[in-house]
Structure 1
Amino acid sequence: MMTLSLKLRQGLVSIVLLLLLLPSSFVAIDQAFFTQLLTNAEQKLEVHMYAILSDLKITDGKIELSNNTLSPDFFRPDSGLSAYITSNENISAEDAFVDSTAINSTSTNVSSSGINSGAVDSFDADSFEIDSIVWQSDSSLSQKFNPPDTTLVPGEHMFYPYVSASKEYWLLSIALLFDSGEQTRPLTIHIVQTDAMLTAPYISFRNTLLSWFIWIGAALVLFSVLAYYWTTKPLSKLDQEIRKLEGGEQDHLNGHYPAELTTIKEDLNLLLANQNRQKLRYRNHLSDLAHALKTPVAVLNTSILSQQPELKEQLDRISAMIDHQLKRASSSGQDIWKKQFEILPHIEKLCNALQKIYRDKELDIQIDCPENATFRGDETDLMEILGNLLDNACKACRHRVKLTVSQNPLNLIIEDDGPGIAKDDRKKLFARGTRLDTYKDGHGVGLSIVAELVSSYSGGMQVTESPLGGARFELIFPE
């Protein structure tokens, strides 16, 4: 399962928040404004409706309406606001005539708008069908509007969108039974507002809101980038210091970090200090033990008895084991933090020395190694590994030895054109107890040391047959 870095996680969270919060906030504010706009429009139309109700009268069977309390918008053509009164009963043209001079409102008085036009609309038709218009405002004369056939119960009112002649409107309709004392007539009052009157402020507000959100979004993006850099800077600094530790450029963390990372820094420094102390103590103990044993062994080697084959063999074994343990003590394979160094210069020096040693064979040592190939560890360890393997290859080969190096992960391949190693002997090659001072079929000297050093770096090694005809040693070190 792929794990995301903390930097990438924070970046994704910031992006998701910006992509979700800004659009959702814009939509929420936009819809809230539109809803409030509808509410205000309905309330305004209700005020106009009550103004019409206050002036509505029926005299001698005629519907009469004064203009004292109506808004000036009802008298101005193309004002966007108009009113209609429809009747859902059959009435004659004579009954539908509205006489403006006979209008004296006796209903509840509403404060006058200051405009007394005296104009009254009348419809000269033989009769009106169901929901026929019995009155309409002056502002509606230029409109191609047909009031809807409503099925409202008397006393019920409704605010709704309506389309007439391919044009959109908002209507507030109320049904009532108008009682004039002499008769009761079912009427429906429609207060009509064009959709443009509603959408104009809405579009203006939306454009303003969009402009603000663009600037807010730009500011949030800039702030998020700065916050991302500010919060991830300590992590980047810690990562750089750890890489310097791995590269051997420093031996402890010395940067200043936030409280959350300070504890990690202190723990890492403590771990490094303890590891260095333990390693030094281990090396000192092994070195002291080996040097303490060297003197008795040297004394025994001067004895006449040491010339006996059995004793000489055992003394040589003890000497080899002492050298082996001293090399283990100086190995850096167990270091938590390892230095890095380029491999190619060391390989070239080693191969030049081997060609001089085995000049009688006229060796052809091929080196295939990138210039930037590096080994994370101790130079002595790598020289010990390559020295043993290349020395054995030079002893076993006829003329050719090939060394191939590749990176990511570090892969070392040593091949020769010698007799090779039998499959049955390959498993025994690195077993404990193999004599370190014997040479058989061109391989065996120092291979146990090589195996232990490779293992100390958590690496792997395998022996196969080379295309050149001899043995092929492949070493892999994890990054």
Structure 2
Amino acid sequence: MTPGYSLRARLLLGAALVLVFFIAAAGIAVQRAHADSVRAAHYASLHGTVDLLLSRAEVDASGALVMPTALGNARLSLPGSGLYASIANTGRREQWRSASSVGVQPPFRDTLETGQLRTETLQDGERSYLALSYAVNWQAGPRPAHLVLSVLEDESEYRHEVAVFARTLWAWLGSAGVLLLVAQVLLLQWGLAPLRRVAGEIRRVEAGEQAKIEGRYPTELSGLTDNLNTLIQQERVRQTRYKEALSYLAHSLKTPLAVLRSALQEPARLPEAVTQQVRRMDDIVQHQLGRAAAGGATRFAPPVTLAPVLERIREALSKVYADKGLEFRLDCPTDLAWRIDQGDVFEMMGNLLDNAAKWARQQVLVRAWREGERLRIQVDDDGPGFSDTHSVLQLHVRGDERVPGHGVGLAVVNDLVASHRGELKLLRSGLGGARVDITLPAP
């Protein structure tokens, strides 16, 4: 993992970038909409001024333009007010200008086709104007007078209005953005608090200050914490199993070693004693290794299809017990799968089938099926059955000393079933012999 990698920093950076982009896009859109609205309002005002001029303008019988001294708009009478008006009488080559244009030379339009209304922006040196022009034929005398009315407004007023709004807009949007970022930081602090608590609990588990993750967490994290607790528990069970196996080996091997040491004093029985005690120590080692290596219940093991495993064990045992001519029957759905370590399956079923084959007279039946959320396995034989269902599960106990074996198989199976939180029962089979019934819960 990259040093300094922080989920919180990534979320904050992503949220900040999205927020800045959104605010910038929204601000630009609002600013443009406002500018267009203000421009439209200014042109509407200019159009109103043109209407005012049309209502006040008069043409005498000779076709000359006659304008009153007061127009009803103070800005047209105030020099340099920023609002300028002109009426060009193209037929008589005369032009009237408002008093506001004294000392200023606005670029009035004096040519335009009759009935045409034109809005535009005109430039005069460093100054620019919003302009609206309208041409009309005024009927007076025998010939109509062609009038071109032109109204200009200094664009600086429009720009000032837009600039004031833009400053206000960006100030508010910037403040809102800062508040939203602060809110996001606080929300992330609150939202990521469970992750920090989990990390703290994991550190305490590593330091040995607590046994597992104990806090209650949101639904999105509860599955993770449950799985972590399962892993911690499985690891502790595995460590305990290894410690117990080593302790048991250290304790159990004392007796065979003591027998061997005493046999050294009697050379005549030394070979027999060595053979017996070495076989006993081998049984002890095999049993404890089987217990220590048992995977135990795990929800993380991949599903194992049982039918192929049982088929491989049957083929192997058919060769081993070929002289007995046993019939191995399997009743297992081809798609039956279970979450369990494959090594545990081979160890468990191998010991069960081997034990059944030793005692069977003619046939061995294996059945496996799913029963709700549990796996059921039954191994039947037509042998003599179990005489003592309790002691036969103990190490080195065999049902009949005349039958070859070490008394280890069923004890290993019992330990494996227990490690998977399952249950093993020894019953009477419908074939007349023994039945081993195993129930394994879902991991």
Q: Which amino acid aligns with 2:224?
A: I
Specify the alignment match of 2:24 in structure 1: 23
Once residues 121 and 229 of structure 2 are traced to their aligned partners in structure 1, the CA distance between those partners, rounded to angstroms, is 74
Q: Which amino acid aligns with 1:141?
A: V
Contact 2:58 2:67 in 1 (8 A): yes
Specify the alignment match of 1:75 in structure 2: 77
Specify the alignment match of 2:379 in structure 1: none
- Aligned match for 1:146, one of 107, 113, 130: 107
Query: How has the CA–CA distance of structure 1 residues 322 and 158 changed in structure 2, closer, same or farther, with 3 Å as cutoff?
Result: farther
Specify the alignment match of 1:135 in structure 2: 96
Contact 2:118 2:134 in 1 (8 A): yes
Once residues 241 and 161 of structure 1 are traced to their aligned partners in structure 2, the CA distance between those partners, rounded to angstroms, is 70
Specify the alignment match of 2:50 in structure 1: 49
Give the secondary-structure state (helix, strand or coil) at the position aligned to 1:191: strand
Give the secondary-structure state (helix, strand or coil) at the position aligned to 1:168: strand
Query: How has the CA–CA distance of structure 1 residues 233 and 200 changed in structure 2, closer, same or farther, with 3 Å as cutoff?
Result: same
How far is 1:272 from its partner? 2.5
Query: How has the CA–CA distance of structure 1 residues 273 and 218 changed in structure 2, closer, same or farther, with 3 Å as cutoff?
Result: same
Give CA deviations for 1:320-363 in whole Å, capped at 9, x if unaligned.
998999899999xx9x9xxxxxxxxxxxxxxxxxxxxxxxxxxx
Write out aligned runs for 1:64-103 (5 A): 64-66=66-68, 69-89=71-91, 91=92, 96=94
Write out aligned runs for 1:271-290 (5 A): 271-281=231-241, 283-284=243-244, 287-288=247-248
Query: How has the CA–CA distance of structure 1 residues 49 and 321 changed in structure 2, closer, same or farther, with 3 Å as cutoff?
Result: farther
Specify the alignment match of 2:403 in structure 1: none
How far is 1:233 from its partner? 1.9
- How much identity, in percent, do the aligned residues show? 26
Specify the alignment match of 1:174 in structure 2: 134
Specify the alignment match of 1:187 in structure 2: 147
How far is 1:62 from its partner? 0.1
Structure 1 unaligned spans of 5+: 97-133, 337-479
How many residue pairs are counted as aligned between the two chains? 291
Once residues 210 and 265 of structure 1 are traced to their aligned partners in structure 2, the CA distance between those partners, rounded to angstroms, is 46
Give the secondary-structure state (helix, strand or coil) at the position aligned to 1:302: helix
Query: How has the CA–CA distance of structure 1 residues 282 and 140 changed in structure 2, closer, same or farther, with 3 Å as cutoff?
Result: same
Specify the alignment match of 2:174 in structure 1: 214
Q: Which amino acid aligns with 2:15?
A: S
Contact 2:86 2:96 in 1 (8 A): yes
Contact 1:286 1:329 in 2 (8 A): no
Q: Does 1:253 align with 2:213?
A: yes
Q: Does 1:239 align with 2:241?
A: no
How far is 1:146 from its partner? 2.6
Specify the alignment match of 2:39 in structure 1: 38
Q: Which amino acid aligns with 1:140?
A: S
The two structures have a TM-score, normalised by structure 1, of: 0.52
How far is 1:241 from its partner? 1.7
Query: How has the CA–CA distance of structure 1 residues 31 and 48 changed in structure 2, closer, same or farther, with 3 Å as cutoff?
Result: same
Give CA deviations for 1:15-61 in whole Å, capped at 9, x if unaligned.
21232122222222222221111011011111111111122222121
Specify the alignment match of 1:118 in structure 2: none
Specify the alignment match of 2:434 in structure 1: none
Query: How has the CA–CA distance of structure 1 residues 157 and 272 changed in structure 2, closer, same or farther, with 3 Å as cutoff?
Result: same
Write out aligned runs for 1:411-426 (5 A): none
Contact 2:31 2:166 in 1 (8 A): yes
Contact 1:177 1:184 in 2 (8 A): yes
Give the secondary-structure state (helix, strand or coil) at the position aligned to 1:158: strand
Specify the alignment match of 1:197 in structure 2: 157
Give CA deviations for 1:177-198 in whole Å, capped at 9, x if unaligned.
3333522233321111001221
Contact 1:301 1:315 in 2 (8 A): no
Query: How has the CA–CA distance of structure 1 residues 321 and 169 changed in structure 2, closer, same or farther, with 3 Å as cutoff?
Result: farther
Once residues 168 and 22 of structure 1 are traced to their aligned partners in structure 2, the CA distance between those partners, rounded to angstroms, is 31
Q: Which amino acid aligns with 1:222?
A: V
Once residues 52 and 317 of structure 1 are traced to their aligned partners in structure 2, the CA distance between those partners, rounded to angstroms, is 126
Once residues 141 and 283 of structure 2 are traced to their aligned partners in structure 1, the CA distance between those partners, rounded to angstroms, is 130
Once residues 329 and 317 of structure 1 are traced to their aligned partners in structure 2, the CA distance between those partners, rounded to angstroms, is 18
How far is 1:138 from its partner? 0.6
Give the secondary-structure state (helix, strand or coil) at the position aligned to 2:108: coil
How far is 1:228 from its partner? 2.3
The two structures have a TM-score, normalised by structure 2, of: 0.56
Once residues 208 and 289 of structure 2 are traced to their aligned partners in structure 1, the CA distance between those partners, rounded to angstroms, is 21
Q: Which amino acid aligns with 1:78?
A: G
Q: Does 1:263 align with 2:226?
A: no
Query: How has the CA–CA distance of structure 1 residues 149 and 54 changed in structure 2, closer, same or farther, with 3 Å as cutoff?
Result: closer
Once residues 178 and 306 of structure 1 are traced to their aligned partners in structure 2, the CA distance between those partners, rounded to angstroms, is 147
Q: Which amino acid aligns with 1:203?
A: A
Once residues 146 and 282 of structure 1 are traced to their aligned partners in structure 2, the CA distance between those partners, rounded to angstroms, is 101
Give CA deviations for 1:44-90 in whole Å, capped at 9, x if unaligned.
1111111111222221210122355531111111111110122455x
Contact 2:108 2:151 in 1 (8 A): no
Give the secondary-structure state (helix, strand or coil) at the position aligned to 1:46: helix
Query: How has the CA–CA distance of structure 1 residues 286 and 306 changed in structure 2, closer, same or farther, with 3 Å as cutoff?
Result: farther
Query: How has the CA–CA distance of structure 1 residues 317 and 48 changed in structure 2, closer, same or farther, with 3 Å as cutoff?
Result: farther
15-24 vs 288-297, greater mean Cα deviation:
288-297
How far is 1:170 from its partner? 0.7
